Structure 1
Amino acid sequence: MVLYKLEDFDTNYQDAFDGNDIKGYEVYSDLDNEKVGTVKNILVEESGRFRYLVVDTGFWIFGKQVLLPVGRIRIDTGDRRVYAVGFTKEQAEALPEFSDDLKVDYDYEEQVRGVYRDRADTATPLETSAASMPYVARAAYDRNTYNYEQEPDLYNMGDRNQDTLKLYEERLVANKTRRKAGEVSIGKHVEAETQRVSVPVEKERVVVERTTPDNAGKPVSPGEATFREGEVAHVDLYEEKPDIRKEAVLREEVRIRKEVEQEMVSTQEQVRREELDIDSEGRPIVDKDR
């Protein structure tokens, strides 16, 4: 059976993909979500049916391109990914290397199929993320009568060619941000006023009082009367002067603090949600629960 590269088979093939050409999609193993490589090309048979993806394994197995049967892929156009169902590094290492100038004949394909068949023949069914793939027993194939329909496990894209359409919705997320709403400056200044204070003060003055003694006119004893000229009596006079000064005293204290008041603020906003539109064109649709 002759296989063609997709662009050689149909130069306008991209029109049929409607912008979703899987060439360039990244390839991941669905077993551990490890990146396997990148889709470099697609091989189709004469009827135009897809048979293999050409995967460049890149750093996984440096510089090696291998064939991945389309029955072992799951396409997610939303993430632009191809998931290789049950694909292991051991398989990639065991696969024969593919090159652009290689002639893909029955013998080469048998080498490829043998690697994937060995996985199915090693007593455990191939597991996928959604459901296990059926156990495939080894059968004898004739190069003259072989056709791809004999191994749907490898070439039937059927249920495994699933596409994932992601539906998104918006939700309101309530959060708070702290911002400066104002500023209060509290300082002090000096005011001056005139105060009056009264202080009683004393002043001394001399009072000269002349009186007539009771024995006035009586003679005094001899020698008692001494007549001295220039005799003077001294009296000290004192007075009080007000002593006014200022002193600072603590009048009062002002304590400054903040209080937090809590209030509930409500708001509303329009949110969007994607809903599924199905145009079946008359074909039956099975709607499974999530």
Structure 2
Amino acid sequence: MPIDSIWSYAPELGPAQQQDLTGYTVVASDGTVGHVDRQADHHGMRHLVVDTGVWVFGRSMLVPVGVVAGIDTADRKVTLTCTRAEVKAAPRFRTDSETMDPAYLTEVGAYYHGLPPHETRAG
């Protein structure tokens, strides 16, 4: 997968990718991560800011939309291609200004792009 694609939804997600995902539950391949706090697209790098609640000590995580495996609008659920541990190990998200920082976004993109492909894609 080219690194640019980490910032784009998979084409098979179709019109669901145009939805406002705020409030949707975010589920990794092995369990719930949190919920979408907001969506952003800075410097052509589309991503979700995910509120992890108490799971990661109340911090938020930035997740590129290229790791979204499925969007279920009926259940208000976003499924990721990666595991909870992989999301937790991503470069730490500290401030809202980072969603506009090209260097930070590039670091996050490189991290997720470098993850091994997962055999099972949840839908």
TM-score (norm 2): 0.70
Compute the displacement of 1:81 (Å): 0.5
Compute the displacement of 1:98 (Å): 4.1
Residue 61 (str. 1) matches residue 56 (str. 2): yes
Max Rg structure: 1
Listed as ranges, the matches of 1:119-134 within 5 Å are 119-120=115-116, 125-129=117-121
Compute the displacement of 1:61 (Å): 0.8
Listed as ranges, the matches of 1:1-290 within 5 Å are 21-29=20-28, 31-32=29-30, 34-45=31-42, 51-73=46-68, 74-102=70-98, 104-120=100-116, 125-129=117-121
Kindly provide the amino acid, as one letter, of the partner of residue 64 in structure 1. R
Tell me if the contact between 2:42 and 2:100 (Cα under 8 Å) persists in the aligned partners: no
The separation in 2 between residues aligned to 1:94 and 1:35, in whole angstroms, is: 16
Tell me if the contact between 2:21 and 2:36 (Cα under 8 Å) persists in the aligned partners: yes
The separation in 1 between residues aligned to 2:55 and 2:82, in whole angstroms, is: 16
Give CA-to-partner distance per residue, 1:89-118, whole Å, 9 cap, x none: 243233221422436322101220232133
The separation in 2 between residues aligned to 1:88 and 1:129, in whole angstroms, is: 14
Compute the displacement of 1:35 (Å): 0.9
Identical positions, percent: 37
Change (3 A) 1:118 1:78: same
Equivalent residue pairs, number: 105
The separation in 2 between residues aligned to 1:76 and 1:35, in whole angstroms, is: 14
Unaligned runs of 5+ in 2: 1-17
Q: Of Structure 1 and Structure 2, which has the larger fraction of its residues in strand?
A: 2
Q: Of Structure 1 and Structure 2, which has the larger fraction of its residues in helix?
A: 2
Unaligned runs of 5+ in 1: 1-16, 131-161, 163-290
Tell me if the contact between 1:61 and 1:93 (Cα under 8 Å) persists in the aligned partners: no
Tell me if the contact between 1:52 and 1:69 (Cα under 8 Å) persists in the aligned partners: yes
Structure 1 counterpart SS, 2:96: coil
Change (3 A) 1:75 1:103: closer
